[in-house]
Amino acid sequence: MDISLRTHPRTQDLGYSRTWDTGMCSSADARDAVAALLAAARPAPLRRSVQDAQLVVSELVTNAEKHAPGPCALSLELRPGAHALRICVTDTSSSPPRPRPPDPGRVGGHGLHLVRMLSRDLEVTVLPKGKRVTATVPLVSEGGGARGEG
């Protein structure tokens, strides 16, 4: 009797975490972390997906720096077979982010609208000393399909 064996590559979760104790969060460091993490993903996400995730992380980290005094933290999570990158930014303000009314003539103040547009989910969790904002950014692989639920 022949037994058919299928092998599946076992991959581990990909993740990243960083804390800025000084309160001076770095959106440039956050964008670099997203690019490095997604460069290790298989199948590789399309460049557009990487850019979308970089824009979301940049907006979230910038909001934490502008609106919350003190330390902030970033964590990124990509599970094997995931279709999305989970981005979590923690800061010291318990006030939830509030979108400003749309105004095409205004410079700035559009970040939360962009985050909502590019994210599958956006969640705010109030913590004992601040909040965590979690965005789930869909990823499309080189093959053209979504990478799966993540």
What does the pLDDT read at residue 29?
92
Sorted by sequence, the CB contacts under 8 Å of residue 124 that are 6+ apart come out as: 96, 97, 131, 132, 133, 134
Q: Is the dihedral of CA 46, 140, 79, 28 positive or negative?
A: positive
| Assigned domain for 54 exists | yes
User: At residue 38, does pLDDT exceed 80?
Assistant: yes
Q: In which domain, by residue range, is 52 found?
A: 15-97+108-138
**Regarding predicted confidence, which is higher, 104 or 130?**
130
50-78 tens-digit pLDDT = 999 999 999 999 999 888 878 999 999 99
pTM of the model: 0.83
Q: What is the CATH number of the domain that holds 78?
A: 3.30.565.10
CA 34, CA 148: separation in Å to the nearest integer?
A: 18
User: What domain count does the chain have?
Assistant: 1
| Assigned domain for 148 exists | no
Structure tokens at 58: 């940049």
| Assigned domain for 116 exists | yes
